[in-house]
Each structure stands twice: as C-alpha cells, then as structure tokens.
Amino acid sequence: MVTVKNYYEEKEHFSNSEFKRYYKCEFDGQLRIPIEVNTAMLIGSYVDAYVEETIDQFTIDHPEIFSTRGSTKGELKKDFQKADEICNYIDQNKVFKQFMSGQKQTIMTGEIEGVPYKIKMDSYSPSIAINDLKVLASVTNKDGIFKDFITPWGYDFQLAGYQEIVRQKTGEKLPCYICAVTKEDPIDSVIVKIDQVYLDKALYKIQSLLPRYQEIKTGITQPESCGICKTCVANRTETPIISLEQIINNY
C-alpha cells in the first residue's frame, strides 16, 4: 500500500517524477541516481510544508535552513526568509489560498496501460478541481508577459496523470490548475488552467511511452541514451563529432 510515509521509497508504482525522468533520458531514468536536493528545492518544500500545515516537522527535519553562527544564529537563512515571505503572501492572497484549500497530499493509485501508477496531489477538491503548487524563479519573460513554464517542466504530464487516476477512482474528470508563486521581489503569482486538449495530448504520450519505460525499469528492454544530460555526459567515453548545421538546428 502506498502511503505518505513510503510514497517516495515505494518502487512498484510509476510516479510523475519517475515518468518525467525516463522521458528526459531513458538511461538516466534506469540508473535512478538520487536527485541532489538543492536550496531551490528546499525552498519549494518549505512552502509545500507550510501549505500542508506540516511546517513544524519540516523545520525539525531540516536544521540546515537556520543560521548557526554570528548575530543571526537560530534565525532562518536569507533564502528561507524569502520562503517565509512566500508563505505570508499565500495567506494574504484570497484567490491563491482558496485554490490551495483542498485536501492536502492526497494519494491515489491506479494503472495506465497496465502499469501501476501513483499520484500525490497538493490540493484535491473532490468534484471540483485538482490543483498543484509550484514555487518558481519567475512566471514571466523579460517584458513581464506570462511565459510557458508548464510544458518545459512537464507539468502537463503531471496533471494528466493526476486527472486520469482520479477519473479511474471516482469517475470524475476534474479540471486541473497549476498554482505558481515566485521567489522574486516583489513576489508574483499566476494560476494556470491546463486546457483539456493539452491534458489529453499529455495522457496519450504517457500511455504510449509508459509500457516501454516499465520494460526498461524491469530489465526487459535496454534504455536509449539521450547523449546530452549530465548522466550521459558523465558516462561518455568518446568526444562527439558534430557539424555547425547540427548546432544551428538545435536553436
């Protein structure tokens, strides 16, 4: 049984993050090298914990977020002071707070194309919506216009998987939203509804690729190397020879 405590350690079910890792590079996905937790990820986790109302336990589990010397000893480090500002921003933003007011960290399991699949939703409101919280560097381009941060980070895959498993469990095909807040000064935010056409395309892609990824995961099929991710570069034994046209065509 998949629970909050064993969600990340349980390996039988595919998760969104695991699917995205295989999608980026099958070789990297197969190696399953632990992702190194950095400050940006911890800031996101801090805000997640605040919204989930588990911030007290988070601060106990992560003493590294506090200063240990000088006049600031015992205080939050600068990066996490910004995380605290984001939490206050969410509290004061009625629309954002409403979107995050559903059931927290709801876990469901199902199957996609016969492959066990698990989801954990930030804010699940039965019969209403599925909402996911993201803490980002920015949600706009240099001209202040909202940019696409959904497809580059695979959030369409994430919400498509969520929607499908909820549909399997409840019979309800719920609208899906990404609730993004930034680490900028001033803090910015946007709530993006992922149109159903994009969710359908993403689910089709998951359905098409997941059986192959499952075969790679279980050792039936050998993974292909993308050749460009850090894992592939670290395992590269020969210097690639390419043309200028190949470089230009990549832009």
> Domain for residue 194, yes or no?
yes
Domain that holds residue 27: 16-36+93-249
pLDDT of residue 119: 97
pLDDT of residue 251: 63
Read off the pTM. 0.91
Distance CA 156, CA 231 (A): 24
Q: What is the CATH number of the domain that holds 137?
A: 3.90.320.10
DSSP for residue 224: P
pLDDT of residue 240: 87
> Domain for residue 3, yes or no?
no
Number of residues that make up the chain: 251
Among residues 159, 117, 135, the alpha carbon closest in space to that of 49 is found at: 135
Distance CA 241, CA 25 (A): 21
pLDDT of residue 249: 86
> Domain for residue 52, yes or no?
no
User: What stretches in the chain show pLDDT beneath 50?
Assistant: none
> Domain for residue 103, yes or no?
yes
| Number of domains observed in the structure of the chain | 1
> Domain for residue 239, yes or no?
yes
> Domain for residue 48, yes or no?
no
The whole-angstrom distance between residue 177's C-alpha and the CA centroid of its chain comes to 13
Among residues 214, 189, 168, 183, the alpha carbon closest in space to that of 19 is found at: 214
> Domain for residue 127, yes or no?
yes
> Domain for residue 141, yes or no?
yes
Q: Are 161 and 118 in contact (CB under 8 A)?
A: no
